[in-house]
Structure 1
Amino acid sequence: MAEKTIRIGTRDSELALWQAHTVQKKLNDLGYKTEIIAVKSEGDIILDKPLYELGITGIFTKTLDIAMINGQVDIAVHSMKDVPTALPIGIVQSAVLERANTLDILVHKGNLDFLETSGTIATGSLRRQAMWLNKYPNHTVVDLRGNVNTRMQKLKDNDWNGAVFAAAGLERINLKPTDFIDLDWMIPAPAQGAMVVVAMANDSFVLDAVSQLNDVETEVCTHIERQFLKILEGGCTAPIGALATYSEVEDTFTFKGILLSIDGKQKLEIEKTVDVSEWKKLGFNCAKEILDNGGAELMATIKATLKK
Structure 2
Amino acid sequence: MDSKGLFTKELDKSVLEEEVDFAVHSLKDVPTDLNEDLEIVAVPPRVSSNDVLISKFSWKELRPGATLGSSSLRREAFCNHHDKGLKLKPIRGNIETRIQKVMNGEIDATIMAEAGLVRLGLMNHVKYRFSIEEMTPSAGQGAIAVITRKDSLKKEIIQKISDYYSYQEVLAEKSLLNELGVGCQWPLGTSAKIKLDGIELYSVLLTKSGEILSKVRLKGPIKDAENLGKETGKIMSEYL
TM-score (norm 1): 0.72
* Matches of 1:75 and 1:66, distance apart in 2: 10
| % identical aligned pairs | 27
Question: Is 2:233 the counterpart of 1:287?
Answer: yes
Answering whether residue 165 of structure 2 is matched by residue 217 of structure 1, we say yes
Partner residue of 2:140?
A: 191
Distance 1:272 1:82, change over 3 A: same
Q: Unaligned 5+ residue runs, structure 1? A: 1-48, 297-308
CA RMSD for the aligned pairs? 2.0
Q: Which has the higher helix share?
A: 1
Counterparts of 1:219 and 1:268, CA distance in 2 = 25
Query: What letter is aligned with 2:221?
Result: D
| Amino acid aligned to 1:254 | E
The one of 199, 202, 227 equivalent to 1:256 is 202
Number of paired residues?
A: 238
Taking structure 1 as reference, are residues 233 and 158 closer, same or farther at Cα in structure 2, changes over 3 Å only? farther
Matches within 5 A, 1:109-148: 109-110=56-57, 114-148=61-95
Gaps of 5+ in 2: none
Residue pair 1:67, 1:73 contacting (<8 A) in 2 also: yes
**1:72 CA drift (Å):** 1.5
Note the C-alpha offset of 1:277: 4.7
In structure 2, give the amino acid aligned to 1:253: I
Q: Is the 8 A contact 2:58 2:128 kept in 1?
A: no
Show the counterpart of 1:33.
none
Q: Contact 1:109/1:179 (CA < 8 Å) preserved in 2?
A: no
Do 1:239 and 1:262's aligned partners in 2 also have CA atoms closer than 8 Å?
A: yes
Shift, 1:136, TM fit: 2.5
Aligned to 1:115, what secondary structure does the other structure show?
coil
d(CA) in 2 for partners of 1:110, 1:81? 28
Higher Rg of the two aligned structures:
1
Q: Secondary structure at the match of 1:131?
A: helix
| 2:26 aligns with one of 79, 95, 105 | 79
From 91, 96, 115, the counterpart of 1:168: 115
CA distance in 2 between counterparts of 1:277 and 1:202 reads 25
TM-score by length of 2: 0.91
Gap change, CA 1:267 and 1:158, over 3 Å in 2: farther
Over 3 Å counting, the alpha-carbon distance change for 1:111 and 1:134 in structure 2 is: closer
The structural deviation recorded for 1:236 is 4.2
SS at match of 2:124: coil
- Larger RCO of the pair (alpha carbons < 8 Å, separation 6+): 2
Deviation at 1:120, TM superposition (A): 1.5
Q: CA deviation at 1:114?
A: 4.2
